[in-house]
């Protein structure tokens, strides 16, 4: 079973309800590691961003990174979690070459944040998926496999990179909802500027837990954990594949084994990696080299006060205050810098609708990355506002405004300068327009006769001829009005 057929999926979904909970590991954008002063810089050459702690040297003691704790708290507060005043680090033991200490320092039974939720819109409705917890932990190193040389080497640069693990309740009910949840969570972390949020690069990783239950059944089925999902496309494929696999098994009287499966994107299927490890297998014990993490109310309040407006709140405000629909609000809040850009323009020109359509159809067409590109884009918010004001005061028609916009991008000049240099202002003056209208009418007696005889379509012909004579700069509304009077009056 490697080709996914939509009809099969529909049939299965009539019978079974998927139940999902996601575990997300997000790397925090700190300068240094979670437990050491080594650099947390992605892309350094192997084993250069390391310290005795990252390499697990005996006797090296961990020192908790305050900045990582602050970022973790930002996430916890922004996602409405209950921050725990006292949380505890534990050792999670397992053997693997990329983990020289033999254990990962993680929070286990006493995480720093409980509950909370991720909110987003799906199919026009607001959804809220509850979180179980968020905890802080350090990342492990990475094994690099060189098949051509027949060797595997270990890179410890990732060792002790700070992570928060965000665990959702099993409240997700469809593939689309899983993707929407993950996007909303990623956007929240990006607004906070604490995680790159890049699945492909592995700084934002997602494990999907999935079970099926017959529709109408209350009890959850046995779950399978899917790992190695490194894109949104793979998330959807892996989940769909797993839904079909489990349905097949259940339909043929089989039982689901609780296990961890790896998604193989090349082969479009998942393979069993290991039967699900139990917590007891990890021999968790409190980390004796670190004190419990104590967080005081004042620090929590300081961080809470500085939180930016989060994406869902901003979306709701755009809907409420700027009359946007869900789609527009979603597009315009795709990054906080884009949302700022929209809001500045919208206020400056006092026209949220024009700002929204012009930005979506013109600005966004030239922007690959809504986060970084918009910050260096020209026309910036001020320059775009000035351009659109030239539309509002009728100096420019929409078509002329688009032309000026293109020139602004190319020449990096303000709208007013381009309009005067290239003589691009539209002609709204009645007498100038009438002169052209009279000339066009005089030159086309045949068409005039036909129009008078009832061929109304020819009105468009006269509009076109006038605009042509005006180099496309006739104020369309005024021109139409005057032409109508002349021809029909
Ligand atoms: P572990 O850390 O061992 O994977 P957790 O108890 O933290 O286990 O749960 C992991 C994830 O599995 C959570 O996101 C949770 O919502 C989800 N989950 C739990 N039970 C089910 C189930 N029956 N079906 C689908 N997902 C589930
Ligand atoms: Mg898990």
User: Tens place of pLDDT for every residue, the chain, 489 residues?
Assistant: 556 778 889 999 999 999 999 999 999 999 999 999 999 988 889 999 999 999 999 999 999 999 999 999 999 999 999 999 999 999 999 999 999 999 999 999 999 999 999 999 999 999 999 999 999 999 999 999 999 999 999 999 999 999 999 999 999 999 999 999 999 999 999 999 999 999 999 999 999 999 999 999 999 999 999 998 999 999 999 999 999 999 999 999 999 999 999 999 999 899 998 776 677 789 999 999 999 999 999 999 999 999 999 999 999 999 999 999 999 999 999 999 999 999 999 999 999 999 999 999 999 999 988 888 999 999 999 999 999 999 999 899 999 999 999 999 999 999 999 999 988 888 888 999 999 999 999 999 999 999 989 898 999 999 999 999 998 889 988 999 999 999 876
What residues does the ion ligand 2 have nearby, CB within 5 Å? 23
d(CA 267, CA 278): 29
Name the residue at shortest CA distance from atom 11 of ligand 1. Answer: 21
Note whether 328 and 234 are same-domain residues: no
Cis ω before 379 (30° cut-off from 0): yes
Note whether 194 and 53 are same-domain residues: yes
- The verdict on the CB of residue 26 being under 6 Å from ligand 1 is no
DSSP helix/strand/coil, 305: helix
Task: Confirm whether 1 is domain-assigned.
Answer: no
Sign of CA dihedral 76, 81, 86, 87: negative
Q: Determine the distance separating the centroid of ligand 1 and the alpha carbon of 204, expressed in angstroms.
A: 18
pTM of the model: 0.92
Identify which of 18, 19, 21 to mutate to test ligand 1's pocket (most ligand atoms within 8 A of the CB). 21
- The verdict on the CB of residue 210 being under 6 Å from ligand 1 is yes
- The verdict on the CB of residue 211 being under 6 Å from ligand 1 is yes
Task: Give the residue numbers spanning the domain of 452.
Answer: 430-488
Among 422, 444, 463, the domain boundary falls at: 422
Note whether 200 and 100 are same-domain residues: yes
Note whether 322 and 459 are same-domain residues: no
Note whether 332 and 274 are same-domain residues: no
- The verdict on the CB of residue 111 being under 6 Å from ligand 1 is no
Note whether 385 and 345 are same-domain residues: yes
Task: Confirm whether 466 is domain-assigned.
Answer: yes
Sign of CA dihedral 361, 197, 330, 340: negative
d(CA 149, CA 145): 9
Ligand 1 nearest atom to the CA of residue 211, by list position: 24
- The verdict on the CB of residue 20 being under 6 Å from ligand 1 is yes
For 43, the token pair is 């892309």
Note whether 297 and 377 are same-domain residues: no
- The verdict on the CB of residue 107 being under 6 Å from ligand 1 is no
Note whether 134 and 257 are same-domain residues: yes
Note whether 181 and 310 are same-domain residues: no
């Amino acid at each position: 079973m490697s080709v996914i057929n939509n009809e099969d999926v529909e049939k299965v979904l009539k019978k079974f309800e998927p139940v999902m909970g996601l575990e997300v590991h997000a790397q925090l954008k700190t300068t240094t590691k979670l437990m050491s002063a080594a650099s947390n810089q992605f892309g350094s050459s192997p084993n250069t961003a390391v310290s005795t702690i990252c390499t697990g040297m005996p006797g090296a003691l961990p020192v908790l990174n305050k900045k990582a704790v602050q970022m973790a708290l930002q996430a916890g507060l922004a996602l409405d979690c209950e921050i725990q005043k006292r949380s505890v680090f534990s050792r999670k033991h397992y053997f693997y070459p990329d983990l020289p200490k033999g254990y990962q320092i993680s929070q286990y039974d006493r995480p720093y944040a409980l509950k909370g939720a991720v909110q987003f819109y799906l199919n026009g409705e607001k959804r809220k998926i509850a979180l179980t917890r968020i905890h802080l932990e350090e990342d492990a190193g990475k094994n690099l496999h060189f098949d051509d040389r027949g060797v595997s080497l270990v890179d410890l640069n990732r060792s002790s990179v700070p992570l928060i693990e965000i665990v959702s309740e099993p409240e997700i009910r469809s593939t689309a909802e899983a993707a929407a949840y993950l996007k909303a969570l990623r956007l929240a972390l990006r607004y906070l500027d604490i995680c790159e949020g890049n699945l492909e690069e592995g700084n934002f990783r997602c494990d999907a837990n999935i079970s099926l239950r017959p529709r109408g059944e209350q009890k959850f089925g046995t779950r399978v954990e899917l790992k190695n999902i490194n894109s949104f496309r793979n998330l959807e494929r892996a989940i769909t594949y797993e839904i079909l696999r489990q349905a097949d098994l259940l339909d043929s009287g089989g039982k689901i084994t609780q296990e961890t499966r790896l998604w193989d994107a090349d082969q479009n299927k998942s393979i069993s990696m290991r039967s699900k490890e139990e917590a007891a297998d990890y021999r968790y014990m409190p980390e004796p080299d670190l004190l419990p993490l104590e967080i005081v109310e004042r620090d929590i309040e300081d961080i809470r006060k500085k939180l930016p407006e989060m994406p869902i709140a901003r979306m709701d405000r755009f809907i409420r205050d700027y009359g946007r629909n869900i789609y527009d609000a979603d597009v315009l809040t795709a990054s906080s810098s884009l949302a700022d850009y929209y809001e500045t323009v919208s206020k400056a020109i006092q026209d949220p609708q024009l700002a929204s359509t012009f930005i979506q159809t013109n600005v966004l067409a030239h922007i690959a990355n809504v986060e970084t590109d918009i910050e260096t884009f020209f026309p910036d918010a001020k320059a775009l506002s000035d351009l659109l004001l030239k539309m509002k005061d009728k100096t420019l028609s929409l078509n002329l405004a688009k032309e000026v916009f293109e020139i602004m991008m190319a020449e990096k000049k303000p709208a007013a300068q381009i309009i005067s240099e290239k003589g691009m202002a539209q002609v709204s003056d009645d007498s100038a327009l009438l002169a052209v209208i009279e000339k066009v009418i005089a030159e086309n007696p045949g068409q005039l006769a036909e129009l008078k005889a009832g061929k109304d379509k020819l009105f468009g012909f006269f509009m076109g001829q006038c605009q042509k004579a005006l180099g496309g700069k006739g104020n369309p509304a005024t021109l139409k009005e005057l032409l109508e009077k002349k021809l029909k009056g």
